[in-house]
Amino acid sequence: MYSEINNNFSKMSSAKNKLNSAIISNRRRDQNLSDRKDFYGDQVNMSGESRISGGGDVKIDIPFAVKFVEKPIFVFGGETMDPQALRVGSYPSISAFVCEWITEERLPTSVFYTGAVVAVSISSGDPQSKYILHYNFSGIGFASPA
């Protein structure tokens, strides 16, 4: 009977040690993630809008309010400020792309993305209409740039 109690106690001690080890491992993982966020940044978004008069092509300088440590993902959408000017069959078409990244180098190996030049093209639609380009840049960065 004594050996059975001792055996159960050994199993409980082993289970307790494994649980403690898992808890410590999770705390280390959480601390490592926290440390990496402090060093590498966190997922951040930078959104904005630019007003565009008429159709055609235009370039827009967009300085970021954050510093990205990797090239951010760029998404956009458009809006008309004059919905009465919309005609079936001649809806405006908007396209936008990053034609230049504005970067800041920190030697020896760091590059921060601090802005972008976005080329916008609006075709069709009324050439007198006014449009809004909505944009979002998303990636790993620092919300409070250093």
Residues 62 and 30 placed together within one structural domain of the fold: no
Do you know the residue count of the chain?
Answer: 146
Residues 11 and 55 placed together within one structural domain of the fold: no
Residues 126 and 67 placed together within one structural domain of the fold: yes
Instruction: Name the CA dihedral angle for 22, 25, 27, 32, rounded to a multiple of 10 degrees.
Output: -160
Q: How many domains does the chain have?
A: 2
User: In terms of DSSP bridges, do strands 110-123 and 93-106 run parallel, antiparallel, or are they unpaired?
Assistant: antiparallel
Residue 5 confidence (pLDDT): 56
Residues 77 and 15 placed together within one structural domain of the fold: no
The CATH code of the domain that includes 101 is 2.60.40.2080
Residues 48 and 34 placed together within one structural domain of the fold: no
Residues 85 and 124 placed together within one structural domain of the fold: yes
Residues 133 and 108 placed together within one structural domain of the fold: yes
Residues 62 and 36 placed together within one structural domain of the fold: no
Residues 48 and 77 placed together within one structural domain of the fold: yes
Distance between CA 110 and CA 78 in Å, rounded?
34
Cα–Cα distances (Å) from 18 to 12, 13, 21, 68, in that order, read 10, 9, 5, 40
pTM value is: 0.69
Distance between CA 95 and CA 119 in Å, rounded?
8
Residues 50 and 112 placed together within one structural domain of the fold: yes
pLDDT by residue, tens only, the chain of 146 residues: 556 655 555 655 666 666 566 666 656 655 544 444 455 678 999 999 999 988 889 999 999 999 999 999 999 999 988 877 788 887 888 999 999 999 998 877 788 999 999 999 998 777 788 999 999 999 999 876 55
Query: By residue range, what is the domain housing residue 126?
Result: 42-142
**Quick check: 92 and 55 in contact, CB under 8 A?**
yes
Distance of CA 113 to the CA centre of its chain: 12
Residues 55 and 106 placed together within one structural domain of the fold: yes
Residues 134 and 124 placed together within one structural domain of the fold: yes
